[in-house]
Amino acid sequence: SRRPSIYYRPINPNDLDRLEQIHRDIFPIKYESEFFQSVVNGVGIVSWAAVDRNRPGGYSDELIGFVTAKFVLAKESEIDDLICYGSSQGEETLIYILTLGVVETYRNHGIAMSLISGVIRYASGLSLCRGVYLHVIAYNNPAIRLYNRLMFRCVRRLNGFYLIKRQHFDAFLFVYFVKGS
């Protein structure tokens, strides 16, 4: 089989069906169609896709991984207490990662690592952005290892944060602070 050639690009409206399908396949939580519309149209959401340019059968531009995120005002976020405010009059922002996923056959190649590094690089280039944060379900060890490896800090354990099939699960809140904030 051919060697994958992973390429990163923005998500666009042609990705809609595939994006919905992967979310359905890999997340225990249901996302509404408004969410996917916002992602593919870039309405209030920033996102990146990974594709395999060597994927045969006309699939060389089909999503095999993605990360979606949104901007949050730092002072309105749940980590308001962890932010050092400067002279920007409360205009500081954070990027909140909504979803991250890589299809199973493409895992363990560093694709998630590259996607999250891209988010960090993007955040670091924004003068008012203080960091990147996210929630992860407490039993998701592959994701937790990834965030630890990328120097995110686990700042909280939230009791019963997720409700899945009438069962509560804890979440960890991970933060990556940019520019020494």
Which span sits near ligand ACO by CB under 6 A: 13-21, 72-80, 99-107, 123-131? 99-107
- Asked if 112 is part of the footprint of ligand ACO (rule: CB under 6 A), the reply reads yes
80 Cβ neighbours under 8 A, 6+ residues apart:
74
- Asked if 109 is part of the footprint of ligand ACO (rule: CB under 6 A), the reply reads yes
Out of 33, 87, 108, 167, the residue judged to bind ligand ACO by CB under 6 A: 108
Cα separations in angstroms, 138 against 10, 26, 147, 158, 168: 29, 16, 13, 9, 11
The whole-angstrom separation of Cα 137 and Cα 129 is 25
Closest to ligand ACO by CB, 24 or 168: 24
Out of 26, 29, 73, 84, the residue judged to bind ligand ACO by CB under 6 A: 26
The whole-angstrom separation of Cα 47 and Cα 98 is 10
Burial class (CB in 10 A: 0-12, 13-18, 19+), 30: exposed
> Whole-number minimum distance, CB 34 to ligand ACO, in Å?
18
Interaction site with ligand ACO (CB under 6 A): 26, 97, 99-102, 107-113, 134, 136, 140, 142-143, 145-146
